[in-house]
Amino acid sequence: MEQSLLDVLAAIPDPRGRRGRRYPIQSLLAALILAALNGQGSLRGMWLWARAHSDRLTRYLPFHRNRIPALETFRTLLCRLDLSVLLETFNVWLTAANADRISLDEKALRGSKRDCEAPLMVVAAFSHKLGLVLGQVVAEGQDKPQAAIMLLERMPIEGKLLTLDAGFLTEPVVRKVVEKGGRTSGR
């Protein structure tokens, strides 16, 4: 059975002290994610959005006294939280729950080329169904297939069809996909 996003967020280690946990971590993070999905790009904007939608949020999320906390509560959590853990947890949940076809591709990051230096290269996993990047790793200093294997190790791909760029159609990458229960398709 697939886990709900709240269950997944509740499993993230809470970096706050024991006395600073009046509001459950999953409620705070879910409110921030919902605000971001509704176009809020700053912490203050997310907090204002949460306050404006407090009736709905407190109906479905466990908030202390059914109140949205102060901006500082959100700020404290985000300052202490390992954001890479949050991002990876969210992407793993998203992939497991929704992505049936995933493309692996290497991309140059726009704006990363400087003078005589090569641009920064990343290997990215993209969901066709969701239209989202599910994960990425920097490919700098290593070969593309090795970067792809690193990315695949962090993703739930069982039952998923992976479309691989020609540079990833190597025996080690295909073996990793099959080992994790995925299927491959070259382009």
SS3 state of residue 105: strand
- CATH superfamily name and code, 99-186: Ribonuclease H-like superfamily/Ribonuclease H (3.30.420.10)
- Domain-by-domain residue ranges, the chain? 5-81, 99-186
Beta-strand runs (E) in 66-177 = 101-108, 121-127, 132-138, 161-164
Confirm whether pTM is higher than 0.85: no
Burial of 157-168, coded b for 16+ CB within 10 Å and e otherwise, reads beebbbbbbebb
Q: Which is it for the CA torsion 118, 119, 125, 128, positive or negative?
A: negative
Poorest-pLDDT segment among 8-12, 35-39, 90-94: 90-94
Q: What is the pLDDT of residues 57-88, one digit of tens each?
A: 999 999 988 899 999 999 999 999 998 888 88
**Angle (nearest 5°) at CA 65 between 20 and 9:** 55
Predicted pLDDT of residue 153: 92
Q: Is the pLDDT of residue 15 over 90?
A: yes
Count of alpha carbons within 13 Å of 119, Cβ hemisphere only?
10
Q: What is the pLDDT of residues 142-185, one digit of tens each?
A: 688 999 999 999 888 888 889 888 888 899 999 999 999 998 87
